[in-house]
Amino acid sequence: MPFNWPLLLLVIAVAVVVLGASFAGMYFLNKAIDGSNR
Amino acid sequence: MHLIPQSWSHFHILVSVFPSVGLAFVLAAFVVAMSTGNELMKRTCLVLFGILGVLAIPTYFSGDGSAASLANNPRFPQNMVDAHYGWSMAALTVLVLLGIASFFELWRYGKVGRLSNDMLNLVLGLAIATLGLMIVCGELGWDINHIELRAVLQRGANAASASDIPDNTQTPQAWSHFHMILNHFPTVGLVISLTLFITALVNNNEGMKRTGLVLLTLCAILGIPTYVTGAAAMWAISEIKEITTHAAGQDPLVNAHRDMALATLFGLAFTGIAAWVELWRYRYLGRFSNRSLYTVLTFAVITLAIMAETGHRGGQINHPEIRTEPVPTDITGYLSPYVENMINNVIWFVPWQTVHFFGYSIVFGVVTAVVLRIFGFWKSMPFSAVHRLLPLGVFGVTMNVFTGMLMLMADTFRYVNETSFIPKMFLLPIGATAVLYFSLNDALWATKAGEDAPMQAKWFAALLLIAWTGVIMGGRLLPYV
């Protein structure tokens, strides 16, 4: 069975998107509340 | 959107869910109003109880009209109609008393300017009694039409089945039963939640806004088991000839409903997440952002419109007595079978499965951090520090719901008949709802560095841990037990 390059690349792309969305989401949400001091 | 009924039966189906399922939501809001002392919310709930009391009239007449028009239809056994009628009379009588008590108290409030605690407790008692009776008569009412619940599948030893269900294997009717009950909660619940939310926005009442946001989040969470039980119900009804003659996944009526349910799931996700994020932000900012609240409102209204169509299409599947248009025969052109076909390809399945694994890793990471703080292992931190992690957990849950749903669509029949799928689906909404507790509890929020968390929060933390551990274990064990 040949090595499935498209699948590997797709899974890497998915990992990048998930991590990117997690970090970006946390960055923006926390930025909005950082000045609250609560 | 087919909101105008064209027969007594159609009208009865639409109106009767409000004094039953709607009552549960109003009752929940009323309990919150009484425990928080929110006067506006108490009065709003009294108005809603009063309106539900008035709905007893169309509920009774539409039911009577349906019984008369369907009297000679063998699909509706007379003894079952009689049993439903008897319990309904009891339920509607108490409902009318609830309406009268609510309107009386509102009238009295107009005179003296304050609500009587005794009357509020009387209304609470009547509402609980009505709900109890409504559960009984609702169940008896559903039984009348839903023949699949009493169907015994007849099949020869090696006969080919009507669907592609392997011989001697059938999907339990408990799924269709649960779907039938559950689907009314996000739908009717959204109507009641929106009513409370809009009243809160108009009157600028913070407590009611919070309650509205919580109820909208709950509706979104309830959408998950509703979708899953719906997918399972499709297999459960696929061999009942009176309902469908198509193989599972090919009935045009079912596929039309499924396509709209898919859109509803997205709508609920947008509404629920937007509502919850605003509850989370409120903790830090101490006020709501009007822009965010109106965004939630927009999402909720759009979702309600999509949901009304979903409900209508769902009703068409198993209610031939309300159909006014010919049943479609063309089995092509529906989205859900296309998605099912696509997700079965490894190039789609594996990436989505990867997202699913990332999702529960994130959820479990956040759950562990929150639970460790509440149990007292990380006392050096205030609770507000781990509270900041919660959006990441909600993001993980969202990823899991959507990827899990896609994986479910790849092989629905196998998943829904796996032993560990039921506890997994039972624990998932519990785990998701427990997150709400951590963003709402004031005593927990006030837990500073070095302080012990309240005992009640520790029980909820244990529930959260057990729920998510069970969800992950249930998923891993799917093909093996």
Model confidence over B220-252: pLDDT tens digits? 999 999 999 999 999 888 878 788 888 888 899
pLDDT at B161 over 50: no
Q: What are phi and psi of B477, to 5 degrees?
A: -85, -5
Confidence of residue B166 (pLDDT cuts 50, 70, 90): low
Residue B361: CB partners within 8 Å, gap ≥ 6?
B396
Give one word for B37, left, alpha or beta, with left for phi > 0 and alpha for psi -120 to 50: left
Mean pLDDT of B256-282: 95
Chain A nearest C-alpha distance from B284 (Å): 5
Contact (CB<8Å) A21/B395: yes
Mean pLDDT of B291-309: 97
Q: Pick from B435, B363, B422, B430: which is nearest to B398 by CA?
A: B363
Chain B nearest C-alpha distance from A24 (Å): 11
Find out whether B167 and B158 touch, Cβ atoms under 8 Å.
yes
Contact (CB<8Å) B277/A14: no
* pLDDT given for residue B455 in this prediction: 96
Give one word for B153, left, alpha or beta, with left for phi > 0 and alpha for psi -120 to 50: beta
Contact (CB<8Å) B284/A25: no
Pick from A2-6, A31-35, B1-5, B474-478: least confident: B1-5
Q: Which residue has the higher pLDDT, B341 or B51?
A: B51
Chain A nearest C-alpha distance from B31 (Å): 29
ipTM of this predicted structure? 0.88
Q: What are phi and psi of B185, to 5 degrees?
A: -70, -50
Mean pLDDT of B100-123: 97
Q: How far apart are CA B241 and CA A38, in angstroms?
A: 61
Q: How far apart are CA B40 and CA B205, in angstroms?
A: 8
Confidence of residue B159 (pLDDT cuts 50, 70, 90): very low
Neighbours of B324 (CB within 10 A): 10
Contact (CB<8Å) B355/A25: no
pLDDT exceeding 90 applies to what percent of chain B? Answer: 75
Q: Which residue has the higher pLDDT, A38 or B332?
A: B332
Q: How far apart are CA B216 and CA B272, in angstroms?
A: 6
- For an interface test with A, the pick among B278, B292, B354 (most A C-beta atoms closer than 10 Å) comes out as B354
Average pLDDT, chain B: 91
pLDDT at B169 over 80: no
Query: B362-371: per-residue pLDDT in tens?
Result: 999 999 999 9
pLDDT at B158 over 60: no
Pick from B93-97, B162-166, B339-343, B406-410: least confident: B162-166
pLDDT at B413 over 60: yes
Chain A nearest C-alpha distance from B263 (Å): 22
pLDDT at B164 over 70: no
* pLDDT given for residue A37 in this prediction: 60
* pLDDT given for residue B276 in this prediction: 96
pLDDT at B155 over 80: no
Mean pLDDT of B23-35: 97
Contact (CB<8Å) A30/B388: yes
pLDDT exceeding 70 applies to what percent of chain B? Answer: 95
Pick from B5-9, B121-125, B164-168, B203-207: least confident: B164-168
Chain A nearest C-alpha distance from B337 (Å): 23
Mean pLDDT of B131-149: 90
SS (H, E, C) chain B: CCCCCCCHHHHHHHHHHHHHHHHHHHHHHHHHHHHHCCHHHHHHHHHHHHHHHHCHHHHHHHHHHHHHHCCCCCCCCHHHHHHHHHHHHHHHHHHHHHHHHHHHHHHHHHHHCCCCHHHHHHHHHHHHHHHHHHHHHHHHHHHHHCHHHHCCCCCCCCCCCCCCCCCCCCCCCHHHHHHHHHCHHHHHHHHHHHHHHHHHHHHCCHHHHHHHHHHHHHHHHHHHHHHHHHHHHHHHHCCCCCCCCCCCCCCHHHHHHHHHHHHHHHHHHHHHHHHHHHHHHHHHHCCCCHHHHHHHHHHHHHHHHHHHHHHHHHHHHHCHHHCCCCCCCCCCCCHHHHHHHHHCCHHHHHHHHHHHHHHHHHHHHHHHHHHHHHHCCCCCCCHHHHHCCHHHHHHHHHHHHHHHHHHHHHCHHHHHCCCCHHHHHHHHHHHHHHHHHHHHCHHHHCCCCCCCCCHHHHHHHHHHHHHHHHHHHHHHCCCCC
Q: How many CA atoms lie within 13 A of B114 on its CB side?
A: 4
Mean pLDDT of B411-439: 90
Neighbours of B384 (CB within 10 A): 17
* pLDDT given for residue B419 in this prediction: 86
Interface of B with A (CB under 8 A): 277, 280-281, 283-286, 346-347, 350-351, 354-355, 358, 362, 384, 388, 391-392, 395, 399
Contact (CB<8Å) A36/B285: yes
pLDDT at B33 over 60: yes
Domain ranges of chain B: 1-145, 173-322, 337-481
> CA torsion sign, B176 to B177 to B180 to B183?
negative
* pLDDT given for residue B318 in this prediction: 87
Q: Which chain A residues have a beta carbon less than 8 Å from that of B350?
A: 7, 10-11
SS (H, E, C) chain A: CCCCHHHHHHHHHHHHHHHHHHHHHHHHHHHHHHHHCC
Query: Quick one: tokens of B212?
Result: 């509205």
Confidence of residue B32 (pLDDT cuts 50, 70, 90): very high
What residue type is B26 in one-letter code?
V
Chain B residue with CA closest to A13: the answer is B351
Q: How far apart are CA B469 and CA B115, in angstroms?
A: 46
- For an interface test with A, the pick among B350, B383, B407, B445 (most A C-beta atoms closer than 10 Å) comes out as B350
pLDDT at B2 over 70: no
Confidence of residue B255 (pLDDT cuts 50, 70, 90): very high
Query: Quick one: tokens of B74?
Result: 């063998």
Q: How far apart are CA A29 and CA B391, in angstroms?
A: 8
Confidence of residue B160 (pLDDT cuts 50, 70, 90): very low
Mean pLDDT of B39-51: 97
